[in-house]
Amino acid sequence: MGKLEGKVAVITGGATGIGRAAAKRFIEEGAFVFIFGRRQEVLDAAVADLGPNARAVKGSVSDQADLDRLYAAVTGERGTLDIVFANAGAGSPLPLGKITTEHIDEAFDTNVKGTIFTVQKALPLMGRGGSIILTGSSAGTTGAPAMSVYSASKAAVRNLARTWAEDLKGTGIRVNVLSPGATATELAKEALGEEGQKVFGSMTPLQRMADPAEIGAVAAFLASQDSSFMTASEVAVDGGLAQI
């Protein structure tokens, strides 16, 4: 029996990268998973790969009506929810002096507002033993040129977990942050190329980028009862990048 046998999970940003790797691992551990993303063709491909214990709902975490449709789908098919992996993220580099309101909105609408409402709208479906996982980033701890807005949004996510652990006292629902470093997702491979990936990998003590499956494995740990005495914590899965 898997660690997530009989559990129902929602993963935002679940069609590609870390989200898809987590969905695969959750299903292998026995969960039924709803993935949420903005591109229907990518969602369809993911469900075809993930198999009968996956469902897809199209939408954006920055649109509350889309989130309502997501949780209506969960309610209609499963009636309950055990795990929320608020993984959808956005952001791009822009240095101080060139930052625009549009640039701020891009990151904060998804990473902060989207995370808040992904979780808040899930709560009526969740009960004791539930696990909420927020995707942070090593960028929320370290400084990097041109990344101030994205980094600030991820630092905000880290604080949400601390605050929500207090708000959720007595509910039996845990909330933790999973903070990856450089990860070899499809998007990263396309953007960086082979040489760029080597450069990013060389910044870590492990001298490589993470495989998305490595992040998905830690998400499964945080989703399961193996982490039953953890809440308000941040688990860094960054090859040591932000730790030394």
* Residue 169 is a catalytic residue: no
71, 150, 169, 189: which one is catalytic? 150
114 to 97, 157, 181, 184, 187: CA distances (angstroms): 26, 10, 21, 24, 21
Please give the Cα distance from 175 to 130 (Å, whole number).
9
* Residue 150 is a catalytic residue: yes
Q: What is the DSSP code (8-state) at residue 210?
A: B
- Yes or no: say if 13 and 86 are a contact pair by the CB < 8 Å rule: no
Place of tokens 């229907």: 40
Count of beta carbons in the 10 Å neighbourhood of residue 134: 26
71, 121, 154, 189: which one is catalytic? 154
Q: Is 42 helix (H, G, I), strand (E, B) or coil?
A: helix
- Yes or no: say if 77 and 52 are a contact pair by the CB < 8 Å rule: no
Please give the Cα distance from 77 to 210 (Å, whole number).
34
Please give the Cα distance from 121 to 30 (Å, whole number).
24
Torsion of CA 235, 243, 154, 134, to 10 degrees: -10
Catalytically active residues, by annotation: 150, 154
